[in-house]
Amino acid sequence: MISKPPLPASMLDPWPRIPIDTTDGSDFHHLTRTAGAAATTWALGPEGAYAKGLSLAEVVDGAVREALLHLLELGLIDIDDDRLNAAPGLPMNRERTGP
């Protein structure tokens, strides 16, 4: 298990990032394929984006929700409730660290 860095002291302090292996064949790669399949199935399905003519923002929100829900339901990822509730705030914009 990866050791998590400490939470920032205040809301606007930068969040230390955990290095993630994103190469083909990595655990992350397997999770993105699984999550992507769930999101795509939702988008193209009868209750999804194309059927409902959703806006781009609604498509993104729905696809992310469906992908995360699928991974959580499979028990492949967990929500760290203690960390989430102890955080002084959550950064909404992701700092790009690579391709």
The whole-model pTM stands at 0.82
- Which amino acid appears at position 9 of this protein? A
Residue 40's pLDDT is: 94
Domain boundaries, the chain: 27-86
pLDDT of the residue at 57: 94
| Mean pLDDT along residues 12-40 | 93
DSSP string, 44-95: HSTTSHHHHT--HHHHHHHHHHHHHHHHHHTTSS---HHHHHH-S---SSPP
Asked if residues 4 and 12 have their Cβ atoms less than 8 Å apart, the reply is: no
Q: Kindly give, in sequence order, each residue whose CB lies less than 8 Å from that of residue 70, ignoring residues fewer than 6 positions away.
A: 34, 35, 38
15-24, 47-56, 60-69, range with greatest mean pLDDT: 60-69
pLDDT score at 44: 92
Q: Residues 35, 67: contact at Cβ < 8 Å?
A: yes
